[in-house]
Structures are given as C-alpha cells and as structure tokens.
Structure 1
C-alpha cells in the first residue's frame, strides 16, 4: 500500500518532472534527447545478461574496473549499463564503446520499470553505491532478478533522510540480495534501514582499486611537457559558490607564484560558460580546454570544459583541491588524486566521503581548509615546498594501496549470485 501511494504521488508529479527535464535541456541540450528511454522504450538493451546501473559520471568511473572484469570473466553474458544523466551516458560510451549495451533508466513508475525489466531480462542487477528506487527494486524482485548493491555507501545525513520515509524504503532495502558495503559504520546504517546482516558484507571501496591508465599518464606527461616548467594546481569538480572562492584563491597564489597555472574543472558541463564569465570578471587570462590551444606562459587558468579528462588533469598537477567541499555538498572522490600521488586539499564539508577523507587526513595526505584564504595558503605552501608535497602524495598513495582488494571481494560476491542462476561459471 505504501509503494502504491508513492507511485500515485510520482505519477501526479510527472508533469513537473518533465518540465524540470525541459528546463535542464536549456543549458544542457542533451537532456532533450532520448526521452523515450526514460519511459522504458528503445535504448541499446542486451537481454539475458548482466545489468549495471551507475547514476552518473562518478559512479560510472567507479564501476569501470568491475565492468571490465565482468566482461572478461563472463564473455557469454552481455552487459548493459544504465544511467540517469547525459554526462554519465557520454562517459559510458567513452569508456566502453559498443562493448556494452546502454540506455537511460526509466522513471520509477511500476509500469515503466516493469517494461524495462521485461525487455532486458537480466540474470543479475548490480546497482552502484546507493542509487535505489522502490519500484525498480520491486519489479526486479517480481521478475526474480537478484539485486546487488555494489560499493554501497550511506552517509549519516543520507541515513537520516531515509529514516524519515522508512515506511517506504524498508521493504526496498530488505529486498536486496546482497549489499557490498564500504565500511562498518555504513553497514550499521544499512542494517537500521532494513538490510539483513546475513545479506551484507564489508568489502571496502572499489575506488581504492583505481589503476590509472598508462595511456592517460602518457597523455598527461606529454601535455604537461608543453606547458613548460611552471607550478600547476587543480580545482576539480567545483560547484556554484565555490568557483568564486577558487578564483580568488588563485589570485592570491599568483601573488606568490606569478607563473602558477590553475586547472579549473567545474562539476557540471552546463556551468562551463558561467565559470568562463567569472574568470573574465576576475581579469584572469584563461583558455578553454575545448579550444585545443596549449596554455602559454601568460595564461593563468586552463578551464577544463571537456568530459572524461579529469584523471589526466590530475596527473598534470602538483597539488589538488577536491571540490564540493567548500560548500555543503559533501565533497567528491578523494581517491583519484591520492592514487596519482598528489597532496590533497579539501574544504570542511566531506560528509559524502567521511571515512575516506578522515583516513587520508590521518595519514597526512589531505589538508583541510575552511575558506578561500586557507585554500590559497595551502596551495602556495605545496607549490613552494615540493618535498612536503611529495611526502603528502606518497602518504595518500600508501593509503590507496593498503586498502585495495575490494574489487575482487565484490566480484566473488557477484559470482555467488550468478552461479545460482543456471550454474553459470566465470572464466578466470
């Protein structure tokens, strides 16, 4: 009955949902395309195989090593990846091309999810992190599709939000076949929301298993070589209200390091032009990555207005600020710069990655700042003291290496659920 009320409410809200999609399409035209997939129609679905759902870019990148391993271990099973955003869609095609099927996940109405599941007929569903929807889970279970929540994370803040609608989400969490959770603290939160302890394992985060692509590292070295011998720092995955602080901090850094280059990478593509205007207003000389130009000595900022190049930008840098943390967004993936041996700077808000940020901070790999002035000071210090920067970067790299192995544990758990279905064997 509770899910019925949720579905009724969702149905009544559909005009607003579609209006929001239309409004988003004004800044990001890709939202206006492929609407039929959001209604459970069309898409490149590859039935009778493995279904992976990764909501957007970050989850897709995190899922990539798992997907590659699944393609290798189960060559007889096609893989279909769904997402919710155009940037996620673009990332899927960039990473995998035609090796996987791909479509947008339909809106969470029972008849749309039922249509999608009946067309895809997955042997198993692997949902990344916490991208769960009540009707999606219900329709999958009704079709006897085992569901795995992979690399599962749940902040205290998100857990409190779920508790407010416990009447709706407890059956959803209880229906999961297996939850591969990152930490003990998160396991306790999932348990309070209805996940049975017997259906849960603490596997760690597969983001620790990030292995930078040698080709990306070669591209970064080549690009950095064209910029000359100058200090470079990156502000990655920044948000509105944060770019202004980063730009102001860079002006302070330039006072101490006149030849410093900032790589500024906004989180959302629809904000690229807005950030370009902020740079113009600040009278900073910048170029766009999309122009294909090489930063000259006089250029002070490289605006990273491209998709899928964040790891390469990190590899070009001497120090990294991870965005979403100077504002109350909760931070982004700290392990990408850590895996590349960079000293990391974060704002005070890292609740989306509490355990990971605290682990890195405790090891001396991450420095926390409260505001623009402290950000400028931290960047200037790392640029002025390469030995200190290298020590912090080495500490972060050690944290990453010491915590690897989650991917293999996740793959073993998926294999158990797949083997139950028609005795499928993986090829090791």
Structure 2
C-alpha cells in the first residue's frame, strides 16, 4: 500500500473550514433529507432511519468488511459486477453499500436484496464520519466515480484503511471547477491508495489535478461490463404475457426528468398518426414523480395505464411506477429515448440500452458520459437530437425500416462487447489492497 501523504497545517485548516461550512448548512441539509425521505419513505418495506445521516450504524450490521460508496443508480449499476465478484471470492467479508440518494437506496435493495448491507452515507462532518467508521470498521473502502468527501477520506487515512477510487471520472468540463477547489480536493485525491481511471482523458485530468502517477491506473469503464440478469428476463416475459406488450412497436422513454415527459409525449402523439399501433413506456427516474408523470400523460387525452394497475388494458402509454423494471423495458422495446439529456442532467447510461441491441436517441446534455455517447454515436447506434421535430424524424426512419433499426441496435451492442474488461482490471487493483 502506498504511504499516505500527511496533511500540512494549511490543508488541515482548509478541511476544517469546509467542515464549518457544512455545519452552517446543516439545517438546510436536514430539511432536504427529510423531504426526500417523505418522497420515498420505503425501499424494502422498512422505513429508512433518518439518523443514518448522522453516522448512526444499526447494531445488527456486521463490521470489518468492505465499504462500497455509490451516489445513486448509475454508480450502483456500474459497480454491481465488481461487488458480485468480491462476494464470491471473499464470502467471509461483509459488504456494506452506502448511497447518498433515496432513489439509490431503493435501487440498492432491488439489486442486492439482503446479500449486502445498506446505509446512507453520513453527512461529511468530522464527528458524523468518526462515529460511522468507529462502528463499521471497514477493512477496505471503495468509492465510485467522482465522490470526493474530505472528512471521509481523512478517517480512512487516520485509521490506515486502504482507499480506492474505482471507475474514476474527471471530465474536461469538470476539471476547471476541480482546479479552482484544488486547495481542498488535491490533498484529498492524493490520499487514495489507487485511483482507477475509466478513460485516458480522465487519467490525464487527474494528473493535471496533481494526483501522483503511481496512484493512477487506467482500468477503463466498468459500465461496459454490465450483463443482463435472469430476473430482468423474467420481468420482460411478464411484460409480454401479463401486461399486454406483444410484437408491435414500442418506444421506451428511460429515466426521464421534468420536462422530458411532455417532450416525449408530444413526439409520440405525432408518431401515432403514421404508426397507430405504436406504444409508449415512460420510466421516470425518481419514484416521487410517478404520480405526476401519470397525470401528465393522462392530460394528453391518450389512453394511459400504470404498471401497478390491476386493470392492465393495452393502453397507448404505460407509466412504470415501480423500481427495478427499466432493463426489462429495454429488452422488449423497439427504440429508446435516454433521459436526463433534454433536462440538462448530463444524460443517463446509454449502455443499458446497447446491451439489448436497441437504437436510441438522446438530447445534447451528455456531460455524465461523453465518451460513451461519442462511441455509440460514431458507430451509428445513437442519434443526438435538439428538438421534437428532430426526434420525430429519427424515430420515423427507424420505425419505417426494420433493417436499419436492427443494424443500429447491433452497432451499439458491438461497442459494448468490444470494450469489456474493466471489472477484471479493477478487481486486480482492489484485491491487491486487501
């Protein structure tokens, strides 16, 4: 393990100023977390404990294992193959997955059920993190993508806990902001034993941030290692057999945010004039918006149903109001719109669509995964659109020509298959720390 660089007096001062800022913001943070818990009160049938945000760890949880921190759904999906591998090869080590968002908490349960422990990551205030690490006592901490919490990192350093940043991402767009905060972020980044960069551009940007080269490993992007699960295939069969989705064309709007539902519904209404048997599946990104999206769809005058409805008539629009069904929807759709790309959220993971060989369209907000988007776009699997008219024209072409539709879908799958291997490389780096 690499020797950690000790904090200078100035670095300690900056970290404490950062901590004081968080303490000053604590009332607002508490209100925000309370609101989110009211929106999504359950993730496994049990109310989430609000005190987890303050470093409280239930006594029933096992300590001394591996801690994996993921912000939300995207990071969870990217890390699932690595977590499964660690479970298989180190069954004696309990794995605890922490998330920041309530949506992430619900998705963690969908992915793992009871095979891992789940907690909310505490607010990054020294005494909360001290309490959290005192009780959990992990042997190894893995942090996904871009989560840099100085006090969490400081606890790992103080306790000599190996620390690895996996699937690490630092985009060209984010680099200037990181450099402005380099007085706080550079010392934190230098405390990681290993940083597994997901691309050459991220690797280069970490070096520009002052990360030591011996810390950096180019392990590529674990998002390419996703695989369909048997559970998703069972759900896809249910959608066909019990929910009325037959062999007709289906357009999927995946992980949508406001105002993307209205955008998609307007395009869909126009497509119906040429393709009257076309059906639309709407999958909102966040559970607290399920009811709102249903009402938005109903207001169009189209026939609308929910996935949870007892009456599962073949409506023109189906709103998926349950967690864990997105990949099954990718499996049965003809084409997909990838959400978060019109709503300026940076775009969600298009590789989940490519895994099922389906062509896709996205808006121009792609800063979350620019490399992936460019690869899919270059191979012809993904089209970027800026307006409802462009979206309509792209989808009309796909619906009119099944051969083009199939070829674009297969091109996306080829991109996925040709870039696998990141999980294996990351696994080797991680196990070297155990």
Per the TM superposition, whether the score is higher than 0.5 is yes
CA contact (8 A) 1:253 1:377 kept: no
CA contact (8 A) 1:125 1:145 kept: yes
Map of 2:168 onto structure 1? 152
Question: What's the CA shift string for 1:52-104, capped at 9, x where partnerless?
Answer: 11111221122111111000011121111111122222222222222212211
Q: 2:34 aligns with which of 15, 22, 28?
A: 22
225-234 or 179-188, which moves further after superposition? 225-234
The verdict on how the C-alpha distance between 1:366 and 1:258 changes in structure 2, with shifts beyond 3 A counting, is same
Q: Displacement of 1:26 after TM fit?
A: 4.5
What SS is found at the alignment partner of 1:156? coil
Map of 1:250 onto structure 2? 268
Map of 1:276 onto structure 2? 294
Give the RMSD, CA atoms, in angstroms. 1.6
CA distance in structure 1 between the partners assigned to 2:347 and 2:320 by the alignment = 19
Trace 1:97-136 onto structure 2 (pairs within 5 A). 97-136=113-152
154-163 or 326-335, which moves further after superposition? 154-163
Q: Displacement of 1:215 after TM fit?
A: 3.6
Q: 2:402 aligns with which of 386, 398, 402?
A: 386
CA distance in structure 2 between the partners assigned to 1:163 and 1:290 by the alignment = 47
Map of 1:367 onto structure 2? 383
Map of 1:403 onto structure 2? 419
CA contact (8 A) 1:227 1:294 kept: no
Indicate whether 1:175 and 2:191 are aligned: yes
List, as ranges, runs of 4+ consecutive aligned residues in structure 1 with deviation greater than 4 Å.
none
CA contact (8 A) 2:57 2:132 kept: no
CA distance in structure 1 between the partners assigned to 2:234 and 2:404 by the alignment = 25
Map of 1:421 onto structure 2? none
Aligned residues: 416
Structure-1-length-normalised TM-score? 0.93
Q: 1:42 aligns with which of 47, 57, 68?
A: 57
What SS is found at the alignment partner of 2:321? coil
What SS is found at the alignment partner of 1:258? coil
Structure-2-length-normalised TM-score? 0.92
Trace 1:296-315 onto structure 2 (pairs within 5 A). 296=314, 299-315=315-331
CA contact (8 A) 1:59 1:129 kept: yes
Q: Whose helix fraction is larger, Structure 1's or Structure 2's?
A: 1
Q: Displacement of 1:217 after TM fit?
A: 2.0
What SS is found at the alignment partner of 1:55? coil
What SS is found at the alignment partner of 2:281? strand
Q: 1:65 aligns with which of 78, 81, 91?
A: 81
Q: Displacement of 1:30 after TM fit?
A: 4.8
56-65 or 212-221, which moves further after superposition? 212-221
CA distance in structure 2 between the partners assigned to 1:204 and 1:186 by the alignment = 10
